[in-house]
Chain A
């Protein structure tokens, strides 16, 4: 098996690392690690149920059941950047900001996360709300969002499942606004995460009643279900 050389992309952009849920990092992990002492662990309020998303600078974005989105620096210091007032039980998804010069870390363009109040929110790296949408207010979003931005930048599409069984596709029309693009109804609460093909062309969602649905990412049209 050849050793392939590829760019890094965001170190851990969302649940399971990337839109195709490879769970595979681009770099070596520790060889003989230990749990780091103070100032670690960073203590947040509530439970952490979703794995953190991580940007190039090593900042962690993590939500809690107390409804807060934290940004934690690799030094172990952190802060609440957004208070959602409703539990966040899944991993946020990051997209990077526009390309920068060589040797400069791309920043985070946007952070997407769902809450138990039914809102999918988009905030900037400092937690300022860019937009919020609710496909069904009050129906929890307990599926980690998958955020896809095509090669060369452009507008982001976000896919997320809802406890009422619907899968939603949201597309940004600008960094400050987004609209529901399509929805697809399944028969069971959707708490797994949507997973995209590497090219972003299809969305895969698995359901608690044992089905795999594969949809066209642009239109929501069913390609197959089994």
Chain B
């Protein structure tokens, strides 16, 4: 028995199931030993093979529609496509956005993930009046198509920073995670997207270095839990569900991802796996725990307390014994992009003092050092969230709130820190996040009541620009995204060297951190691939 006329290029899933289409308009599934599992008729004008979507769906264009077919062979949904003829397999990104190209020159993005209301077509461009190839996608998520006139087209977002933050800007009194786009303190309101819509408060967004997932905290049922989702807020998953390592009433906050090699998608040394670090009160104290993202959610083996996690990294016993002193609470881990440093806040309720600590794999081995002076800590405050450290993209600097100022420390030297503070002395900077190119720091600034996002840049990061004036926007987290072009030299910030000429020990040149970008590149492009260090 054969299939219908002209079978197209098949796709093979991980379990060996083969999906094939034919020009009779059918999609067939065949198991690994050749047994037909099912066939489904999708319509006429079926000219291309399938693509494998998220969640096991198969995506096929037929009759001017895009079909999503489940693993059981039922059509889950179909979406009308713009008028064109589709003869190539679609491409699918990690968010589930399907890119179809037409013989009439159209390129269309269709959201295939669950939970979409209304049209699934989210964008369309027409690079050419001619016949297009299928789409290819590079390691930055840029789309390329060729055409029948020999032109190779690039399709991409306009360069800008992408910033996740918590805000109630569209529903007062209910924090949600928003995605904002900005260039050096100039917000693009049309590109501000509400990522989460739950009636509970969603806050403290964090982004993974590879842009594939975001994390945030939400109080959905009985406790604060850490969620992980795609950057569009779809495929949301609770990483700290009750059962296993966490009880129904345990609170988890302050997620942070261990760094990933943004070229290879693998954990950076010395991390063995990709983790999301959260602060959990499950043990009776708020302590850092590490959730292994490669393990099944809810599995007790997926969760490691700080000390055994650090032991697996090779931290010597003399330092391990100092990581979790009795009765000391911890909150918020910050990981350096180079993978070799982790900073966190520790607070001792008995002495009402807090301290930022740095665990650092230096060239001479592991070190455990305090960052800056200790600070008053109010044990009555159940969430001491005001002193979160963050690293610069070159992993050399730590920015952390210190009183009314933001203090910027050089972790490689004992130099005094640089202090910067918002223009109104009563304002306090919270939750710094350093931009991927190192030129600006996003912070929440409290002006009496609610907080709003500000961008600190320029010499010593002393120039503050208000980014949101909508009230209660805080906890910024940069996504690497497509970075904007550098500013002209007349206004170029020198914030990446945050003080008077900083010189590195043994180096003759002024310290700078620069992204390595091909000199012929007309704009900055994609996430930082590598950083030169002094």
Question: How far, in angstroms, from A214 to B91 measured CA to CA in the complex?
Answer: 24
* Binary per-residue interface labels of chain B (45-56) against chain A in the complex, 1 for a CB within 8 Å, 0 otherwise: 000010111111
Whether A28 pairs with B146 at a CB distance below 8 angstroms is no
Whether A21 pairs with B151 at a CB distance below 8 angstroms is no
Majority SS of interface residues in chain B?
A: loop
Whether A35 pairs with B127 at a CB distance below 8 angstroms is yes
**A197 interface contact, C-beta 8 A:** yes
Whether B152 pairs with A52 at a CB distance below 8 angstroms is yes
* Binary per-residue interface labels of chain B (148-192) against chain A in the complex, 1 for a CB within 8 Å, 0 otherwise: 111111111110000000000000000000000000000000010
Do A27 and B152 form a contact, CB below 8 Å, given A22-B51, A53-B136, A103-B261? no
Range of interface residues on A (Cβ < 8 Å): 35 or more
| A89–chain B nearest beta-carbon distance, Å | 10
Whether A25 pairs with B20 at a CB distance below 8 angstroms is no
Do A35 and B150 form a contact, CB below 8 Å, given A5-B274, A212-B20? no
The residue on A at minimum CB distance from B4 is A210
The 8 Å CB contact of A30, one of B13, B141, B151, B530, is B141
The 8 Å CB contact of B139, one of A8, A21, A46, is A8
**B84 interface contact, C-beta 8 A:** no
**A127 interface contact, C-beta 8 A:** no
**A93 interface contact, C-beta 8 A:** no
Whether B211 pairs with A33 at a CB distance below 8 angstroms is no
Whether B11 pairs with A16 at a CB distance below 8 angstroms is yes
Which parts of B443-493 form the interface with A (CB within 8 Å)? Answer: none
Provide the residues of chain A in CB contact with B123, threshold 8 Å. 30-33
| A147–chain B nearest beta-carbon distance, Å | 15
* Binary per-residue interface labels of chain A (1-42) against chain B in the complex, 1 for a CB within 8 Å, 0 otherwise: 111011111011001110011111111111111111001111
Majority SS of interface residues in chain A?
A: loop
**A206 interface contact, C-beta 8 A:** yes
Question: How far, in angstroms, from A12 to B133 measured CA to CA in the complex?
Answer: 14
Q: How many A-B residue pairs have CB under 8 A?
A: 326
Question: How far, in angstroms, from A43 to B154 measured CA to CA in the complex?
Answer: 12
Question: How far, in angstroms, from A89 to B123 measured CA to CA in the complex?
Answer: 29
**A108 interface contact, C-beta 8 A:** no
| A182–chain B nearest beta-carbon distance, Å | 20
* Binary per-residue interface labels of chain A (56-73) against chain B in the complex, 1 for a CB within 8 Å, 0 otherwise: 101010101010001011
| B444–chain A nearest beta-carbon distance, Å | 24
Question: How far, in angstroms, from A197 to B264 measured CA to CA in the complex?
Answer: 22
Whether A74 pairs with B525 at a CB distance below 8 angstroms is yes
Whether A42 pairs with B141 at a CB distance below 8 angstroms is no
Whether A207 pairs with B150 at a CB distance below 8 angstroms is no
**A196 interface contact, C-beta 8 A:** yes
**A45 interface contact, C-beta 8 A:** yes
**A48 interface contact, C-beta 8 A:** yes
Whether B212 pairs with A16 at a CB distance below 8 angstroms is no
Do A214 and B34 form a contact, CB below 8 Å, given A29-B95, A52-B152? yes
Question: How far, in angstroms, from A8 to B137 measured CA to CA in the complex?
Answer: 12
The 8 Å CB contact of A51, one of B88, B154, B264, is B88
The residue on A at minimum CB distance from B153 is A41
Whether B156 pairs with A36 at a CB distance below 8 angstroms is yes
* Binary per-residue interface labels of chain A (131-163) against chain B in the complex, 1 for a CB within 8 Å, 0 otherwise: 000000000000000000000000000000000
Please list 22 pairs of residues, one from A and one from B, whose beta carbons are closer than 8 Å in the complex, sorted by A's number. A2-B297, A12-B137, A12-B138, A22-B52, A26-B265, A27-B94, A27-B212, A29-B142, A31-B193, A39-B522, A41-B153, A43-B150, A49-B148, A51-B88, A58-B142, A73-B520, A76-B522, A198-B14, A202-B16, A204-B10, A206-B49, A214-B18
Known interface pairs A9-B265, A16-B134, A78-B152; 12 further A-B residue pairs with C-beta atoms within 8 A, sorted by A's residue number: A5-B274, A21-B11, A25-B91, A27-B94, A27-B137, A30-B141, A48-B147, A51-B144, A52-B146, A56-B263, A60-B138, A223-B33
